[in-house]
Amino acid sequence: MKKYLVLLLFIIPCLLQGQKHEVSNLFLNEKSLDLKLAISIKGVKAITSDTVYSPAIMHFNAGDGWDSIAISVRARGNFRRKECYYPPLKIKIRKEDAKGTVFEGNKSLKLVLPCNQSKDNALIMKEYIAYQMYEGITEYTFNTRLLTIEFTDLMGKKSKSSTITGFFIEDDDIVAKRHNGKVVEDLKLHPKLLEEKNSIRHDLFQYMIANTDWSTTFLHNAKMIQLNESNEYIPLAYDFDMAGFVDAPYAQVNEALGIANVRERLFRGFCRSEDTFQSVRNEFIANEDTIKSILMRYQSAFDVKAFTGMTKYIDEFFETMKSDKKFKTEITDKCRTK
């Protein structure tokens, strides 16, 4: 018996250590990472193929000084790519180049940037906070890393530099691997075929931040993973810049939804069993302090008026969660059947 106990004491820490290493060093550190990146924004936007990348060198603060790494970049997304000065970027890194750096284990990253100049840094912080709050709700999330970027736009013989806030998002294949699953594409699954609790968690989170710009069926601002053991489908949410919580000046809502602006919440989830709805509702209520503490971490990034507005907006969501009447009228009575 004593021999088995000793064996367990050895095995359990090893298992925990293995789980910890499923997240790369890039995303284990919550401190903002300093970067320097110089590319031609016009040149990157001109490339319309998703398979064509431009070479670049990315400099990063390695802690004991600056280092650099060769990367390939392309523009991604639709709206921000067309309407914003800075497009969201997709970055590829060769395995041999990443080895021994903070980027080891990451072959592909999304780089989220402000829409325009540094005045939009507060908006990018709000979107980053949305990812952080989602981690307080579910384990099925993308890891993110906050960045301070000295960004240089190469414009022929001229160049233009700005210091902006951004963040990395890990690749969906890494998220799937962490949960012993795989990314699935082009299935056009009916939402009711998704695992019930995680589907409701996803949908209530989108309601919390007032985001209507998503579809788990058509994989718009959503990825889907299938777990290997249970074959269940789990949605992964991303791109929250159109959410009312962020309240970007360019944010739009679909007129067909019947809401006036992005700040107006609308539950777009499908109907589920009442018991499961109530179970997930109680999870959100139990996690209220966690979600609000995540928000409080970033208070210093905003002026008093802006931060008060953000906390009040989240408070209003929890008022709905805690009220039987409001939960019925705003959530279960509004759930979709088709």
pLDDT digits (tens, 9 = 90+) for 273-285: 999 999 999 999 9
Predicted confidence at residue 98, as pLDDT, reads 97
Binned at pLDDT 50, 70 and 90, residue 119 comes out as low
**144 touches 131 (CB < 8 A):** yes
pLDDT for the residue numbered 15: 40
Per-residue pLDDT for 21 more than 70? Answer: no
CA 63 to the chain's CA centroid? 25
Going along the chain from its start, the domains and CATH numbers come out as 30-170 (no CATH), 174-332 (1.10.1070)
pLDDT of residue 4: 43
Q: pLDDT for 60-96, tens place per residue?
A: 999 899 999 999 999 998 788 888 999 999 999 999 9
Q: Which of 11-15, 136-140, 152-156, 247-251 has the lowest mean pLDDT?
A: 11-15
CA distances from 124 to 112, 121, 148, 161, 167 (A): 8, 5, 11, 18, 8
Residue 48: pLDDT band with limits 50, 70, 90: confident
Q: Give pLDDT, residue 290.
A: 97
Positive or negative CA dihedral for 155, 158, 163, 168? positive
Closest Cα partner for 313 from 240, 238, 242, 247?
247
- What percentage of residues in the chain have a pLDDT greater than 70? 93
> Is the per-residue pLDDT at 12 higher than 50?
no
- Indicate whether 336 pLDDT > 80: yes
CB-based burial, 253-271: b 16+ in 10 Å, e otherwise: beeeeebeebeebbbbbbe
Using an 8 Å Cβ cutoff, are 240 and 246 in contact? Answer: yes
The model's pTM: 0.91
- The pLDDT-based confidence of 20 (bands split at 50, 70, 90) is very low
The answer on pLDDT for 2 being more than 50 is: no
Q: Is the pLDDT of residue 256 over 50?
A: yes
More confident residue, 138 or 79: 138
Instruction: Give the model's pLDDT for residue 118.
Output: 60
pLDDT digits (tens, 9 = 90+) for 216-245: 999 999 999 999 999 999 999 999 999 999
Within a 13 Å sphere around the CA of 142, how many CA atoms are in the beta-carbon half? Answer: 32
How high is the mean pLDDT of the chain? 91
Percent of the chain, pLDDT > 90?
A: 83
Please compute the mean of the pLDDT values over residues 286-315 and round it to a whole number: 97
The pLDDT score that the predictor gives to residue 246 is 97
In the predicted model, is pLDDT for residue 10 greater than 80?
Answer: no
Q: Which residues contact 307 (CB under 8 A, 6 or more apart)?
A: 299
